Each structure stands twice: as structure tokens, then as C-alpha cells.
Amino acid sequence: MVSYVVRRVLLGLLTVFLVLLLLHLLTTLAIQLNGNPALAFFGDHVPSASQLHAVEVRYGLDDPCYDQPGNPCLRPFWERLAQYAHGDFGTDLQGRPLTELIAQAVPNTLRLFVIVTITWLIIGMMLGSVAARFRGRPIDHSIRLTSVLIDAFPVFVMLVVYRFIFTVPLTTWARRTFGSDSVPALLFKPSYSDSHPWLTLIVPGLLLGLTGCAPFLRLVRAAQLENYNAEHVRTARSKGLSNAHVTGYHIVRNSSVPVVTAVGFVFADALSGAVITEGVMNIRGMGNLLWQSVQKSDVSVVIGVVTILSVVTIGVMLLVDLAYAALDPRIRYD
Amino acid sequence: MLHRRLPVRRPAKALLAATAAIALFATAACSSGGSGSNSSDSGGSQKTIHLALGQDVDTLLPMDSNVGDNIGVLDVVFDGLVRYDPKTTKPYNYVAQSIETTDNKVWTIKIKKDLTFSNGEPVDAASFARSWNYSAYGPNAMANNYYFERIDGYDAMQGETDDDGNVTVKPKAKELSGVKVVDDLTLQVTLTAPFAGFSTMLGYTGFFPAAKACIDDIKACSKKPIGNGPFKIDNWNQGVELTASKRKDYKLPEVPNYDKIDWKEYAGSSSWPDFQAGDLDLGAPPPEQWQQANNDPDLSSRKVTKETADLTYLGFPLYRKNRPWDNIEFRKAISMAIDRQKIIDTVVPSQSVPATSWVAPTIPGGKAGTCEWCKYDPAAAKAALQKAGGWPSGKVLNIYLGKDDTNEAYFKAIGDQLALNLGIKYKLIPSEDFFAERSARKFDGAYRNNWFPDYPLNENFLAPVYSSGDPKNGNTNFGYYDADFEKAIKEGDQAPDIDSAIAKYQEAEHVLAKDFPTIPLDFSNSVTFYSERVDNIVINPFSGATELRQLKYVG
């Protein structure tokens, strides 16, 4: 088991390295083709060569390789790797350390993800289990139909519709009925408020979680159905164990493996959905940070944030694989 | 990271996972950056204004601020030597006691006594010199660096680079030789050449003073600037919220009647729902919500519209020879074939007005109607095109612009009108690299240009945009040169007082009107909606921003 984990960690490090290299090449090409962000600094005014150079130094883009399209610019790449190895993750275009930006953004994204996960579990697991339990009955059909409907709705449509159509009337109503600092008024506040971090995140998190729970729901149902007809379940039933005990003790756990796999996939999906959610609801989280820095061509921040997100994703995949071993004793790694 | 709680199994693993999830919950909740503490906003004794700020504001250093949002904040945190009248945009002395010159080249600025920064330091001649030297020093790469081009000693502070960007000559000086601190309250500035508009420039953000403590720790100062204005910054949670409160020791008269300002940061125009919900005091809707906002009777009763000095115009690469647009009749034809009002009504309704001059009518020296051929007259346009020799059939006119959805729609409408009225086929070429391509003179066709003035004077629409001093190549962006134009500008720079200078600059605009090198299209409108808690919304016609010092809190 230990050697398995070590192998996976090493593989993970290699993946992170490749991600970094690819990102570097892409952003370098983007700067070479789209124009140095240092030029955009001057807007309509035509800068002199030395003014432009001063801004390029400030942005860390003064290596001449940035003027030659196609040049892979490996020297800045190694410099950046060396910095990362020393724990120096660089600064944004204004000189703010990346660690500070991330420390500010991570709690918001984490809170959003906690709400999203709870939504998945409650809606996905519960409804999936119910659909499996009452297979073929009306409730099963309606749950499956609803999941298809939810799946068809892109997350940004839900969010934009919610924010621009529903929040204002809902907030005004809630404020009038319950008072302006009341819980319902804050729940429907049109944008995220730093002084009430959890309350103003519940609805966006719910909506984001809804979009991810549809595949989850169906996977749970399918996995459990497989187990309903399994031999060990029939044995348990014939022993006289109650339905509840059989469902909870034998079925759910054994159907967890494909579900846990889904967690891995949907996690990556939710990460990109978070960018949209945070953008629409004005939440200063990792997704928003990434989005803003891409728009500003802030290379350091883009690479730094994506690196961290890749590390996190790889970590989650590793945990998912380890969870298999925990859930199913037949699965062992050596 | 995610922690997945196993639903029913009670053994240790599930419990462990559950505990971990709860711990995560707790730490995330406790570590919330809750420094934005205006939870009790019942007014009480503290009158607070709630405004929106762009999330991409990344500095509050005056030397480095040249964008609308930064400038708006700094307008209440700092005072300049002069301020601009909110209605006429004419400058008047504010921190300066007097600004005098006999030859428009050497300026003597006397500063009022006993003024202080919010940290107690005196606002004296040295504080202005300090700030200006910091901006003018090339390696600092400050956004407002080029404003100091006109002052003696600027060139020595830039150094030189070769074509590859390698520094060949380091800057020789760290201070402007043309800026002299004569005594505590007197500053003497020597320009490289006479310029009548110098005192007008002094109200701009780039000319604000800097405290010594600010220069000593520039990074802290960019986040929490030390200003000499009526408000001081309390806290800036970057990307989230900025708060400022009134100074108790402020001596000058322009102080608003509210005590605190709370800026919440938003990406793009996403602050509109918050304004509708009553959380903000000023707001403007995004284009999709425009109609709805204007049709709402309650909202539109709380709306202020003002024409600004933001000009959009069409340019031609006159540096390329033997092209159809070399001929003035061709350019006239293009201009008269464009129905400016119709395009505005369709693409950006109520957000612009057609331009009939190269200088904004809203600033000193600007006058509408200087452009004779800026009217819509398709018959005259066809005649002019004929006179120019027609347009080669099958040839396509390229129209270059930067990447932006609204601009692309706008210029597509222009292209369609040219096709309809003159039979000219066009191709829209939006590009990310627009600025670089324009200065590298890569265009072969018409292109969109935009000009927003740096200070309220007609000269700023003329000299920086069209002047070059180079009869052979003309100016970088357009290749334009006219000796009469350069002469009028020079005479204006040397004029004995600002009014005669303005008259001379107007003559330069008439030369432009005669030469017709570019085609003025429109001036933008600034539109603001306001809440019931505030009154006296005055939009500055030069910047398009709401004057915060004029804003009244009525609760």
C-alpha cells in the first residue's frame, strides 16, 4: 500500500510538472501573439522604448524571448520552477504576493464547495437511493426525468436567471417582511457579502451543486440497482433482516465505488463551474481570481493558481483511489 | 479539498471523515476575511455612502493611477494644486495660493499655508516635487510617467534601450532638473518649451503630492495611500471592499456632508442587481438591462445623463501612399455616408451623441459644429466619392479595431452604411493586438480610435493626437502633418494667457477641419442612476464620473 501511494505521489509530481510546462508554453505563446500586456498599460499613448522596457521589467516580461513568436522561453520557465521550489510563488502585476491573494480567495471557494458537496450528498445520494429502492414506480420516473431536466440546464443560465430576475424582488420582499438584516433577506442578497459569508453563499452553492448532482444521482441509482439483485443481498433478506438494514448496511456501501469515481469527475467539473458561479455572484474566490488574471494576462497568477488547482485535483483523485481500498476490501494495491 | 461523508456506515472511517468535514467547516467559517464590517447600516450617527468599484482596481497610488475608478477614489483622498469646476471644467486654485508665469515657460507655484496630510506631514513644495520625481523616473514604470514630458530634465530620467529592450543607457538623473523647491511653500517649474496649458494640467491625479512616509514604503502606500484630501482610507480588503472616513483635521472648504464611503468591488457591470436591491447609492445598468431600467418610471426619475469628452473617431493610414483615402473627397464621402444618430440609436441607444467636432464641446475651447462634413447626406457622399475617382469595384475596405462586442457591433453598422450608401464592401478585423499594430503602422484600411482627454483643455485633443514635428513621416498613428497646424499649436503654447491660448488652439482645430484627416463619430454619454438616499448628482463633463464632493446624503 505504501509503495502504491509513493508511486502515485511521484506520478502526481510528474503530472504537475507537465501541467506547468504546458501552461508556460501556452501563456508564452499568447503573449507573443497577442501582444505584451505591458503595451496595453499605455492605452492610446505611444510609449517610448525605455518606458515600455520599464513596464516590462515591472511585469517580469522583459526577457527578449517574448518578442519572438514560437520561442519556448525556457529560461523564464526554469527561473519560475526554481522560485516555486523555494516556496516563492511570485507576485501579481501589482506586486502583491500570490500567497496573499490565494489566502484571501481560498476560504470563499472552500465554503462554496462545502455547500456544493452537501447538496450532492443530500440530493444526489438521497434521491438516487429512493429511485433505486422504488424502481419502476412513478417516483423513480419523476426523479429520473428531473435529473435530465437539471442536466440540460447549464449552470450559468441558472445563475444569471436567478441573479438578474429573482434576487431583487426576493430580497425586497424579504426585507419588507422580515427586516433588512434578517436571514431570508441575506439568503437572497444579489451578491456575496463578506460580512455574512455563509448565508450569502447558500443559494449559489445550492445552484452549483444542483447541476453536478444529476449524473451523481443516476450513478447512485444504477450502482444500487446492481446490488439489489446481488446474491449477498438475497441472502441477507432471506436471513430475515429488515429492508432498512439491508439497504443501509449492504447496498449503499457496496455501491459506493462507482459513486466515489463520480466524485472525482464531478469535482473537476465543479471547479470550472465555480469560476462561473464566482464570477456571476461576485465571490472573490479561486475561480474568480483565475478568471480576472486571465483577462489581465497576469501570467504569474494564472500559472500559480492553476498549479495549485492541479495539485488539489491530483490529490482528490489519489484520495478517490485510496477510498476504493477503504470501501471495498477486495481492492488492494501493492 | 473535498471530504465525502459515507452515509450510513458508522465505523471509525466514516466518523473520521465526518469529523474532518466539521473541522473544515469550522475553520473555513472562522477564517473568513470579515473585515468589511458594515453590518449595522441603519445610518445612526454615521452617514455612509455605498458605491461600486471595479474589481480590477489594483493600486491607489496617485502616481500610478490613470483609470476612471482609481481616479474617482483618489479625488476624495487627495487635493490637487488646482481643481476643476464641476460644471464648466475650468480649473481654479485649490491647494495652490497662486500659479504665475510671465513667459509660459517658467512657472512659480505658491502653496497655501498649514495644510497637512492625514499622517500629519505638511503639504509643502517638497511633497509635490517628491511625487513628481517618483513618477518621472523611468525605471519606476509609473502609469503617469509621460505627463512630465514637458518638464525640463525629463529625458535624463528615462535612460535608453535598444530595439531588443536591453538597457543601453541608464537614466542619468533621479530628479527633474526643471522642478525647484525655492522655499517651503514655493515651487518653481521650468518647462522644455512654453505651454500655456500647464496650470490646467495640475489638477490631474498624476500631479498630486506625496508624503515622505508614502515614498518610503510605496507598497503600503499603494494599498493605503496617505492623502491630503477630506477623506482618509480606513481599510482596503483588495478585491472585496474599500472603506474611507472623513478626516477631522481637514482645513479646506470642499467637504461633502457624509462621514463614510463604502466601496464594494464588482467584476464588470455586475453591481446592478445590488443597486436595484437598494444596497448601492449609484449605479448603471449593463447593456442588456438598459431598456428595462429606462422604462421603469421610478428608476428613470432618478437618472442623470451628461455628455462627456470621450471621443470615438475613424482614422486612415495617411502614411501609405496611393490609396483612395489619400484624397480628401473620399474621406468626406465616407463621413457623409454614415448616419451617426441612427447607429447610436440602434447599437448604443442614449449612450452617445453624434460628434461634429474634433474637440469635445464640453471642455474649454471645444465647440460643436467645427466639422463641416459630419452630417448625414448620402447624395453628397455619392457625389464626393465620384469626385474622388470612385471605389475600385470588388475591392474590400478593411476596418480595424480592438476586440470588444459593442464596438464590433457599432463598426459593423458603419460598414453596412458604407455598403448601402456608397457600395463599398468592407471587412471588420478585430484584433487583440490593436495598440501595437497601430503604433507599428500595420493598418491598410480604416480603423477605430478613441480619445479621452488627460486634462480639460482643447489642446489635449489636438497636439497629443495629431502633432509630430515631422514633416516627412507625420505623426505615428496617422501619418498626418500640416505646418499650419503645428504653427497654431505652437502659438497657443506661447500665448500670454489661457484664453488667447484657447483661441489659438481653436485655429488649429480649424486646420484639422480643413484637412479632414480623421472622421469624428461620437462622444459618449455618462449615465448614472441614484438611490433615494442621495441627491445633487453632478456628473463631471470631463471625466464622466459623479462628483463625490458635490454628492449630498439626504438619508
In this structure, which CATH number among 3.40.50.150, 3.10.105.10, 3.30.420.10, 3.40.640.10 belongs to the domain B310-523? 3.10.105.10
User: At residue B7, does pLDDT exceed 70?
Assistant: no
For the four alpha carbons of A235, A236, A237 and A240, in that order, the dihedral sign comes to positive
Low-confidence ranges of chain A (pLDDT < 70): 35, 40, 43-46, 333-334
A174 to chain B: which residues are within 8 Å by CB? none
Instruction: Choose the mutation target among A99, A126, A194 for the interface with B, i.e. most B CBs under 10 Å.
Output: A194
Q: Which of A7-16, A248-257, B417-426, B524-533 has the lowest mean pLDDT?
A: A248-257
B219 to chain A: which residues are within 8 Å by CB? 95
Using DSSP's 3-state secondary structure scheme, residue B455 falls into: coil
B447 to chain A: which residues are within 8 Å by CB? none
Percent of chain B with pLDDT over 90: 61
Q: What is residue B468's predicted lDDT score, i.e. its pLDDT?
A: 87
Q: What is residue B4's predicted lDDT score, i.e. its pLDDT?
A: 55
How does pLDDT run across B449-481, given as a tens digit for each residue? 999 888 999 999 999 899 988 888 888 889 999
Of the candidates B58, B158, B433, the beta carbon closest to that of A93 is on B58
In chain B, whose CA is at the least distance from the CA of A93?
B58
Q: What is the mean pLDDT of residues B368-395?
A: 92
Does the CB of A40 have a partner CB in chain B at under 8 Å? yes
**Distance from C-alpha of B169 to C-alpha of B175, rounded to nearest angstrom:** 17
Extract the C-alpha cell encoding A231. Answer: 446474491
What DSSP state is assigned to residue B234? E
Q: What is residue B166's predicted lDDT score, i.e. its pLDDT?
A: 65
How does pLDDT run across B49-85, given as a tens digit for each residue? 999 998 778 889 999 888 778 888 999 999 999 999 9
Instruction: Decide which of B333 and A252 is more confident.
Output: B333
Q: Which phi and psi (to 5°) does residue B145 adopt?
A: -55, -45
In A215-244, the residues whose Cβ lies within 8 Å of chain B are none
Q: How confident is the model at residue B12 (pLDDT cuts 50, 70, 90)?
A: very low
Q: What is residue A46's predicted lDDT score, i.e. its pLDDT?
A: 67
Instruction: Give the CATH fold of the B4-266+531-553 domain.
Output: D-Maltodextrin-Binding Protein; domain 2 (3.40.190)
**Secondary structure in 3-state letters for A279-320:** HHHCCCCHHHHHHHHHHCCCHHHHHHHHHHHHHHHHHHHHHH
Residue by residue, DSSP assigns A182-233 as: SHHHHHT-SS--TTSTTHHHHHHHHHHHHHHHHHHHHHHHHHHHHHHTSHHH
In this complex, do B273 and A34 lie within 8 Å of one another by their Cβ atoms?
A: no
CA atoms within 13 A on the CB side of A250: 20
Instruction: Decide which of B112 and B542 is more confident.
Output: B112
Burial A271-286 (b: 16+ CB within 10 A, else e): bebbbbbbbbbbbbbb
Contact B121, B212 (CB under 8 A): yes
**Distance from C-alpha of A334 to C-alpha of A147, rounded to nearest angstrom:** 39
User: At residue B423, does pLDDT exceed 50?
Assistant: yes
Residue by residue, DSSP assigns B130-169 as: HHHHHHH-GGG--TTGGGGGGBTTTGGGT-EE-TTS-EEE
User: At residue B398, does pLDDT exceed 70?
Assistant: yes
B449 to chain A: which residues are within 8 Å by CB? 44
User: At residue B8, does pLDDT exceed 70?
Assistant: no
Q: What is residue B440's predicted lDDT score, i.e. its pLDDT?
A: 84
Q: Which of A190-199, B333-342, B494-503 has the lowest mean pLDDT?
A: A190-199
Does the CB of A160 have a partner CB in chain B at under 8 Å? no
**Cα of A121 to nearest chain B Cα, Å:** 8
In chain B, whose CA is at the least distance from the CA of A260?
B4
**Distance from C-alpha of A44 to C-alpha of B406, rounded to nearest angstrom:** 19
In chain B, whose CA is at the least distance from the CA of A266?
B2
CB contacts < 8 Å between A and B, how many?
189
Q: What is residue B30's predicted lDDT score, i.e. its pLDDT?
A: 40
Contact B176, B162 (CB under 8 A): no
A125 to chain B: which residues are within 8 Å by CB? 7
User: At residue B44, does pLDDT exceed 60?
Assistant: no
Q: Is B101 left (phi over 0), alpha (psi -120 to 50) or beta?
A: beta
**Distance from C-alpha of B515 to C-alpha of A140, rounded to nearest angstrom:** 77
Please give the C-alpha separations between residue B283 and each of A206, B42, B275, B535, B540, in angstroms, as whole numbers.
28, 21, 6, 14, 16
In chain B, whose CA is at the least distance from the CA of A196?
B34
Q: What is residue A44's predicted lDDT score, i.e. its pLDDT?
A: 63
- ipTM for the predicted complex comes to 0.73
Q: Which phi and psi (to 5°) does residue B82 adopt?
A: -125, 160
Q: Which stretches does DSSP call E strand in B329-405?
A: 352-354, 396-402
B450 to chain A: which residues are within 8 Å by CB? 44
In A255-274, the residues whose Cβ lies within 8 Å of chain B are 256, 260, 263, 267
Q: Which phi and psi (to 5°) does residue B262 adopt?
A: -125, 110
In chain A, whose CA is at the least distance from the CA of B160?
A50
B238 to chain A: which residues are within 8 Å by CB? 96, 104
Extract the C-alpha cell encoding B240. Answer: 472585496
Q: Which phi and psi (to 5°) does residue B138 adopt?
A: -50, -55
How does pLDDT run across B230-276, given as a tens digit for each residue? 999 999 988 889 999 999 999 999 999 999 999 998 876 678 888 98
**Distance from C-alpha of B431 to C-alpha of A298, rounded to nearest angstrom:** 19
Of the candidates A52, A95, A279, the beta carbon closest to that of B219 is on A95
In this complex, do B165 and A53 lie within 8 Å of one another by their Cβ atoms?
A: yes
Q: Which of A116-125, B27-36, B366-375 has the lowest mean pLDDT?
A: B27-36
Q: What is residue B26's predicted lDDT score, i.e. its pLDDT?
A: 44
In this complex, do B164 and A67 lie within 8 Å of one another by their Cβ atoms?
A: yes
Q: What is the mean pLDDT of residues B166-175?
A: 81
Residue by residue, DSSP assigns A94-156 as: TS-BHHHHHHHHHHHHHHHHHHHHHHIIIIIIHHHHHHHHTTTSHHHHHHHHHHHHHHHS-HH
Stated pTM of the model: 0.78
- Domain residue spans in chain B? 4-266+531-553, 310-523
